[in-house]
């Protein structure tokens, strides 16, 4: 099974890019974040024409929203809100074999890494804490889970262009890294991408639109992740980041991240 996650940053605006990504990667399951469209306006017919017979949308007008596109049968569709905020950031379904799939768009957290002066940063930390508590309560050694999405945190020093310069920048601050670490430990998740691409290798999935030449400056961050629980760890076969998609016409600021599992 090939599973790809991509923050599309408006699915209707980037439908042609989506089609190119599908042709290039041929994923069995494609999880999208920040679709920025209500459910009834999602381009379902267009994505079904790409071979995705199963489409689950949890959308929101202008902001947020997630969607799961699958060539494989899906069982059920649940949504969760955290911190009593309806931002359409988390959807859950089941893949064949009883695998529980979570598609997540974790809040970005604004610009100031101080929960006392920045409500967006407080919301991000509270979102992570509530989800971690939930997963800790449901943890089971044999549970087959995959969590993917834009987690908006680059945890490793090699996940950012400059660890030293980004220590006080939202997405790489120690408090966020610790919160993400707790979330990862909550179900014993394995970072599937870093299981293939060694942690010492610099790796990014996001580059700001503000850069005049994103590739030359290469000031990226690895914000997009694929995690699996231990029963699926031995199934990891490959992982990749489609860096070149950042240079395509009308790109998202994120690029697709893909993991292959031998199930």
Q: Report the DSSP beta bridge partners of residue 206.
A: 221, 254
pLDDT digits (tens, 9 = 90+) for 87-120: 999 999 999 999 999 999 999 999 999 999 999 9
> 104, 92 in Cβ contact below 8 A?
no
Q: How far apart are CA 47 and CA 97, in angstroms?
A: 24
CATH architecture type of domain 2-261: 4-Layer Sandwich (3.60)
Query: The whole model's pTM is what?
Result: 0.97
Give residue 33's pLDDT: 98
Asked if the model's pLDDT at residue 141 lies above 90, the reply is: no
Give residue 108's pLDDT: 98
Q: How far apart are CA 204 and CA 218, in angstroms?
A: 9
Asked if the model's pLDDT at residue 174 lies above 90, the reply is: yes
Closest alpha carbon to 224 in 133, 134, 148: 148
Neighbours of 93 (CB within 10 A): 21
| Alpha helices per DSSP H over 61-191 | 119-138, 163-166, 174-186
Both tokens of residue 140? 């089971």
Give residue 139's pLDDT: 83
Q: How far apart are CA 205 and CA 195, in angstroms?
A: 16
């Amino acid at each position: 099974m090939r599973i790809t996650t991509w923050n599309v940053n408006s699915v209707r605006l980037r439908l042609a890019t989506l089609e190119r990504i599908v042709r290039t990667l041929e994923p069995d399951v494609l999880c999208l974040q920040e679709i920025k469209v209500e459910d009834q306006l999602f381009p379902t017919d267009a994505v079904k024409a790409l071979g995705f017979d199963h489409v689950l949308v949890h959308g929101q007008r202008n902001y947020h929203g997630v969607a799961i596109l699958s060539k494989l049968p899906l069982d059920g569709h649940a949504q969760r809100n955290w911190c009593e905020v309806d931002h359409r950031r988390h959807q859950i379904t089941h893949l064949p074999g009883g695998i529980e799939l979570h598609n997540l768009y974790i809040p970005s957290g604004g610009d100031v890494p101080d929960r006392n002066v920045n409500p967006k940063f407080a919301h991000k930390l509270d979102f992570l804490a509530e989800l971690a508590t939930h997963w800790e309560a449901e943890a089971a050694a044999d549970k087959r889970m995959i969590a993917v999405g834009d987690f908006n945190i680059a945890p490793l020093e090699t996940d950012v262009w400059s660890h030293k310069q980004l220590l006080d920048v939202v997405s790489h601050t120690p408090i966020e890294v610790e919160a993400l670490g707790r979330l990862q430990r909550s179900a014993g998740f394995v970072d599937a991408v870093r299981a293939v691409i060694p942690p010492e290798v610099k790796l990014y999935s996001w580059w700001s639109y503000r850069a005049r030449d994103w590739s030359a400056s290469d000031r990226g961050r690895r914000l997009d992740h694929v995690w699996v629980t231990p029963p699926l760890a031995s199934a990891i076969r490959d992982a990749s980041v489609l860096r070149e998609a950042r240079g395509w016409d009308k790109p998202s600021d994120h690029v697709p991240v893909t993991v292959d599992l031998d199930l």
